[in-house]
Amino acid sequence: DGEYMSFGISGHPEKSQMIGGDVGVTWIDKETLKGYADDYFLEAKSQCAGRHGSCPDPHTGSIRLLNAALVNGYSIVTYQRPLRASDKLDLPIFTNASQPIIWAIGPINSKGQVSYHQYFTKGDKFLEFGRAPLWNCPMPEGEEDGSPQLASPTTRLQEPDRETSSQAVIKPNPVPPPASVAKSVPWEIPGIECYEPPDGVFYAQMGPTGGKQGYSAITGHVGWGISW
């Protein structure tokens, strides 16, 4: 609830790297059930401030939302983007070789933008975008058949014969429902005994937010991973 899913091309041509990456960020508003899909350029590991950090691509139009739905507790968002780079902040998608990718899951802040993510790519991940598609997402309850088969642009639809009809139907892999997430109990923070220093100067220090029981649980707001 209130989390985004991001997926896209790595900022490095030979390994999975967040900085410099070109990703699509998607999420579903659980109250309105409206889906969103935005193009992001990851300039730095920081929240978007102006045009710096992890910000939406100012050149809109490269990502088009196709469908958004909640299925058995999962958020499924389908979007479309061109293989070629549409602007200077986009990265091309190759169909003739494997390519490093990045992904992350994290909370959406009050501005509807990404915040510090707790789940992200571990190690280097490569994907061949030119391979034959296979549906691995969960299906609605009670639906036995697999997802609609996708035909390549060069494939012509033919009448089924005995050979094709006898072939086994590829069904999607069974996906268990997501585990329930317990609400985080905030850390108990003792009150600060404030005594005005002789010189009248107070000091504040930046540091980690204390994980799930820290800043977000205490304040009820989404943070970027650092606080003071």
In this model, does residue 148 exceed pLDDT 80?
no
Query: What is the average pLDDT across 130-147?
Result: 66
For the stretch 42-74, what's the b/e string if a residue is b when 16 or more beta carbons lie within 10 angstroms of its beta carbon? bbeeebbeeeebbbbbeeeebbebeebeeeeee
pLDDT tens profile 184-204: 787 777 776 667 777 777 777
Domain range list for the chain: 3-128
Radius of gyration (Cα) for the chain, nearest Å?
Answer: 22
* Residue 50's pLDDT band (cuts 50, 70, 90): confident
To the nearest whole number, what is the mean pLDDT of the chain?
78
Judged against a pLDDT cut of 60, whether residue 221 lies above it is answered with yes
Q: CA neighbours within 13 Å on the CB side: how many for 48?
A: 18
Mean pLDDT over 102-107 rounds to 93
Q: What percent of the chain has pLDDT over 70?
A: 70
The residue behind tokens 């070109």 is 22
CA 172-176-177 angle, 5° bins: 120
pLDDT of res. 159 = 39
Contacts of 205 (CB under 8 A, 6+ apart): 228
Range from 81-90, 113-122, 127-136, 141-150 carrying the lowest mean pLDDT: 141-150
Residue at token pair 């909370």: 107
Neighbours of 224 (CB within 10 A): 20
Distance, CA of 209 to CA of 223 (rounded, Å): 8
Q: How confident is the model at residue 52 (pLDDT cuts 50, 70, 90)?
A: confident
Identify the band that residue 151 occupies on the pLDDT scale cut at 50, 70 and 90: very low
- The torsion region of residue 205 among left (phi > 0), alpha (psi -120 to 50) and beta comes to beta
C-alpha to C-alpha distance for 91 and 72, rounded to whole angstroms: 33
Write down the pLDDT at residue 138.
66
pLDDT bin (cut points 50, 70, 90) of residue 155 is very low
Residue 176's pLDDT is: 58
> Is residue 25 a contact partner of residue 65, using CB atoms and an 8 Å limit?
no
Mean pLDDT of 145-163: 40
Arithmetic mean of pLDDT, 30-47:
90
- The reported pTM is 0.65
Q: Is the pLDDT of residue 175 over 90?
A: no
Q: Which of 43-52, 113-122, 189-198 has the lowest mean pLDDT?
A: 189-198
pLDDT at 128 over 50: yes
